[in-house]
Amino acid sequence: MASLNVSLDERSYPIHIDSGLLSDSNLLSQYIRGKRVCIISNDVVAPLYLATIKTSLCQFEVDEIILEDGEASKNLTNFEKVMAHMLEKGHGRDSTIVALGGGVTGDLSGFAAACYQRGIDFIQIPTTLLSQVDSSVGGKTAVNHPLGKNMIGAFYQPKAVFIDLDTLITLPAREFAAGMAEVIKYGVLADREFFDWLLTNKQAIKDKDTAVLAKMIEHCCAIKADIVAKDEKESGVRAHLNLGHTFGHAIEAELGYGAWLHGEAVATGMVMASQLACDLGLVDETAVTLVTQLIEEFELPVLAPASMSVEDFVRHMRRDKKNLNGNIRLILPVKIGQCDIFDDVTQTQLAQVITSLTETQPAK
């Protein structure tokens, strides 16, 4: 089993990566201090893994909340549903929430844990590639609002993260590909050697070679853990993890949450960020081509939807959480393996890259 640590003083916690972790009752129980557990999952993941988790936690009093799958479920209505359930079942401050699912489940569960009785313990058990390499680590919790993604939330760290590689066996191809967008992101923003490793091992990744996936996931988690330890609440370097997200969140918000998967929107956003960096003279065309080709290897979109205009993008981008003093702040690569924050991109430059990387309207 691979294990690494997110170092945040008294809020530090481990990330465990292996096959068969859902059945390891001794390991799971180490991180539950009370007698009560509430498992939050969704109607796709629960039929696959809920019974296994409940068996592993049979020494505790366990109840569960099953939400609808999909990004559209990450809302205040379901947050209220979780709060009502916790109160009706009499959960106290020594209860533990277990998030069993992808990023939507983890984000909503973490936010619920942060708010219920001013904060109770929670454990992340991510079951999608995207949540394993990204959203389950770092303590960003939130729900969406029609006017913006993840605008209502809190920084709240889990007690532990359990990444069971076996859950990737049942993961649909589209979800796996979406997770690869976040994997590629780490190479572009922080590690050229890792980016090249992804190019070399792309077929083994597609074949879901367990050893290769374990190495890949561990490396992504290590990069994120290091960044989070340096900047827990995103006042500086942690913002780099949002590479591609400013464009991507605009796509998600405009189309309606769930129309595109988060990773699909981030993939297109990364291509846009890379092309904008090229337009600004920060990287050359070769870098843009390499990023685009690796994204296309996993059948991810590289063009924004034809239904979106420049005005649509800018309207949503102006609501981005990174913005300061009314300026749109963008994370752009300065080379493959390194990025920086820019807040001086002009409307003309933005419009040019959006126009050049948006699907043309179909002929009538």
- Selecting among 71, 234, 252, 264, the annotated active-site residue is 234
Please write down the long-range contacts of 224-227, taking CB distance under 8 Å and 24 or more positions apart. Answer: 224/133, 224/134, 224/137, 224/138, 224/186, 225/4, 225/5, 225/6, 225/7, 225/15, 225/137, 225/138, 227/190
Contact 28, 62 (CB under 8 A): no
Q: How far is it between the farthest Cα atoms of the chain?
A: 63
The yes-or-no answer on residue 88 being catalytic is no
The yes-or-no answer on residue 64 being catalytic is no
Structure tokens at 312: 């649509």
The yes-or-no answer on residue 159 being catalytic is no
Helices (H), the chain: 25-29, 46-56, 76-88, 103-115, 129-130, 173-190, 192-200, 202-206, 210-230, 245-255, 262-279, 285-297, 310-317, 347-356
- Selecting among 16, 74, 159, 262, the annotated active-site residue is 262
- Selecting among 36, 242, 252, 254, the annotated active-site residue is 242
- Selecting among 182, 252, 254, 264, the annotated active-site residue is 182
Contact 233, 241 (CB under 8 A): no
Which residues neighbour 284 within 8 Å (Cβ) at sequence distance 6 or greater? Answer: 278
The yes-or-no answer on residue 145 being catalytic is no
The yes-or-no answer on residue 316 being catalytic is no
- Selecting among 16, 36, 74, 140, the annotated active-site residue is 140
Which residues neighbour 74 within 8 Å (Cβ) at sequence distance 6 or greater? Answer: 104, 107, 108, 142, 143, 144, 257
**3 state SS for 141-208:** EEEEECCEEEEEEEECCCCEEEEEHHHHHHCCHHHHHHHHHHHHHHHHHHCHHHHHHHHHCHHHHHCC
Contact 82, 40 (CB under 8 A): yes
The yes-or-no answer on residue 182 being catalytic is yes
Structure tokens at 258: 């769930």
- Selecting among 219, 240, 245, 316, the annotated active-site residue is 245
- Selecting among 185, 249, 316, 329, the annotated active-site residue is 249
- Selecting among 16, 219, 238, 316, the annotated active-site residue is 238
The terminus-to-terminus CA distance of the chain in angstroms comes to: 56
The yes-or-no answer on residue 234 being catalytic is yes
User: Pick from 259, 256, 239: which is nearest to 312 by CA?
Assistant: 256
The yes-or-no answer on residue 318 being catalytic is no
- Selecting among 224, 240, 316, 329, the annotated active-site residue is 224
Q: Which residues are catalytic?
A: 118, 140, 182, 224, 234, 238, 242, 245, 249, 262
